[in-house]
Amino acid sequence: MKQYNAVKSEVDSWRSFSRHLNDTLELVQLGDESLRAELESETAALETELEKRSFTAMLSGKYDQDSAILAIHAGAGGTDSQDWAAMLERMYLRWAEAHGYETELLDVTAGEEAGIKSVTIAVNGDYAFGYLRSERGVHRLVRLSPFDAAHRRHTSFALIETLPQVAMDEAEIEIEPGDIKMDVYRSSGAGGQNVQKNATAVRITHIPTGIVVTCQNERSQTQNREFAMRILRARLLELKQAEKEEERAVLRGEYTKAEWGSQIRSYVLHPYQMVKDHRTEHESGNAQAVLDGDLDEFMEAFLRHS
């Protein structure tokens, strides 16, 4: 039913667009000069809609229509990198809000002095994964550090992971009950009413791969376990796909090990302002707008490049 509804929605959307186009063509064929202003407006609307559909058509991967799981991890750079991870969290939350996606904080580890060490966010809505897969990789920030007494320039790194919210009945991934170890504990918080009195947080360890997933949202233990299992399935699917990619790359003679530090995008705030994607060479001189969630041009450039 989920697949049927998704296809039906897509077909209905194209039929509606087709009717709009045909209605406009019929008005054109009347040759009535008094309709010129209205027709110019309709034509502009059709062109905008067609451009949007052209962009969406590039999201044709197997899981591109799915909701996404976004994980941000602070890297090299100490307190600055943890602050950078918090800046990236804000950037993606603003992007999601601007596009009508619902977000849910699943797990967060606060930084020692500022920012966050890691955060996992569910981004719910059509094509969330298709858009956000352009963001996976290492993001680099260059700025004057607010945590340096001498106010020197620092370089910080953070790693972005994006995973599809794989359905529990995903055929490609089978998890044997004996392969997982589950621990429950009390959610961490800021103290007072924010600290859970019951053990609702869940940590699941997949013994064969060593993958560890935690979920400590302020919900029931059952809900946290269900979402932790969904994240585990997504990570196992990613691992399986990565192994296939490595095999294909070795056969082509192009295998290069994916290592930490090969940034996909740089955000420079000093001595000048610029954001540059190193895969597509797309850049923007308005770094603040990008940090406020204006990422569409970078995502579109990546999809066209891919």
Model confidence over 62-92: pLDDT tens digits? 889 889 999 999 987 789 999 999 999 999 9
Decide if 257 is inside a domain: no
Residue 191 pLDDT = 44
Q: Which of 70, 89, 85 is nearest to 140 (CA)?
A: 85
Classify strands 263-268 and 211-215 as parallel, antiparallel or unpaired: unpaired
8 pLDDT tier (thresholds 50, 70, 90): very high
Residue 71 near residue 163 (C-beta atoms within 8 A): yes
**Tokens standing for residue 213:** 């997933």
Q: Domains in the chain: how many in total?
A: 3
Which residue did the predictor score with more confidence, 12 or 171?
12
For 54-114, the DSSP string reads HHHHT--STTTTS-EEEEEEE-SSTHHHHHHHHHHHHHHHHHHHHTT-EEEEEEEEE-SSS
Least confident of 207-211, 263-267, 302-306: 302-306
Decide if 261 is inside a domain: no
Report how far residue 306's alpha carbon sits from residue 55's, in angstroms, rounded to the nearest whole number.
13
Edge-first strand order for the sheet with 211-215 is: 180-185, 201-206, 211-215
Residue 258 pLDDT = 47
The pLDDT of residue 260 is above 70: no
72 and 156 housed in the same domain = yes
Residue 203 near residue 185 (C-beta atoms within 8 A): yes
Decide if 121 is inside a domain: yes
Segment 111-121 shows an average pLDDT of 92
The pLDDT tens digits of the residues spanning 190-248 come to 444 444 556 788 999 999 999 999 998 767 888 888 888 888 988 898 888 888 777 66
The pLDDT of residue 295 is above 50: yes
The pLDDT tens digits of the residues spanning 140-173 come to 999 999 888 788 889 999 999 999 987 655 656 7
| Residue 184: CATH number of its domain | 3.30.160.20
Decide if 128 is inside a domain: yes
**Tokens standing for residue 108:** 């967060």
Q: Where are the beta strands (DSSP E) in the chain?
A: 68-74, 102-110, 116-124, 137-144, 153-164, 180-185, 201-206, 211-215, 263-268, 274-277, 283-284
**Tokens standing for residue 81:** 């990198």
**Tokens standing for residue 269:** 């705030």
The reported pTM is 0.78
Decide if 258 is inside a domain: no
Q: Mean pLDDT across the chain, nearest whole number?
A: 87
110 and 30 housed in the same domain = no
Residue 49 is part of which domain span? 2-57
The pLDDT of residue 107 is above 50: yes
94 and 157 housed in the same domain = yes
The pLDDT of residue 187 is above 90: no
Which residue did the predictor score with more confidence, 288 or 59?
288
**Tokens standing for residue 128:** 């969330």
Dihedral pair phi/psi, residue 150, rounded to 5°: -85, -5
Decide if 78 is inside a domain: yes
Dihedral pair phi/psi, residue 59, rounded to 5°: -90, 70
User: In which element (H, E) is residue 13 found?
Assistant: helix 2-29
**Residues whose CB is less than 8 angstroms from the CB of residue 96 and which lie 6 or more positions away in sequence, other chains included:** 102, 103, 123, 128, 293
Residue 175 pLDDT = 87
98 and 239 housed in the same domain = no
49 and 107 housed in the same domain = no
Residue 193 pLDDT = 46
247 and 276 housed in the same domain = no
Segment 104-130 shows an average pLDDT of 92
Residue 174 pLDDT = 81
Decide if 259 is inside a domain: no
Residue 167 pLDDT = 60
12 pLDDT tier (thresholds 50, 70, 90): very high
